Amino acid sequence: MTQTSYYKHHIFFCLNQRDNGQDCCANHGAHEAFDHCKAQVKAAGLAGPGGVRVNKAGCLDRCAGGPVAVVYPEGVWYTVMDKSDVNEIVESHLKNGQVVDRLVVPANVGR
């Protein structure tokens, strides 16, 4: 028997807030991007089983590329700066399966 995934895509947004004054995704509009993505996924009819799940995440340890989001099962990491970036990820990647190359976090970018 083949096991299929409950969701076609998961997108996790780092919403980490650092208390020690260090830079973090929460300081760069991550919460707004998360909220906008949830609304766009729902509006596009992509939400729910067999579709897309938009999730909050703590630190994803890619702070230098932040604010970041990662789409699974592909494992594609994105820098998400504004609502237009979110719209492009939803339309291109989550709806049509095409990675948005201009927003991909370079492999060597970490914390």
C-alpha angle 8-68-107 in degrees, rounded to nearest 5: 90
- Residue-wise pLDDT for 39-97, tens only, equals 999 999 999 999 999 999 999 999 888 899 999 999 999 999 999 999 999 999 999 99
What confidence tier does 111 reach under pLDDT thresholds 50, 70, 90? confident
Spatial contact of 55 and 78, defined as CB atoms under 8 Å apart: no
**pLDDT value of position 83:** 95
Beta-carbon count within 10 A of 84 CB: 10
Q: Which domains does the chain have, with CATH numbers?
A: 9-103 (3.40.30.10)
* CA quadruple 58, 17, 46, 72: dihedral, nearest 10: -40
CB 63 within 8 A of CB 24: yes
Q: Does the pTM of the predicted model rise above 0.75? A: yes
Q: Residue with structure tokens 């609304």?
A: 39
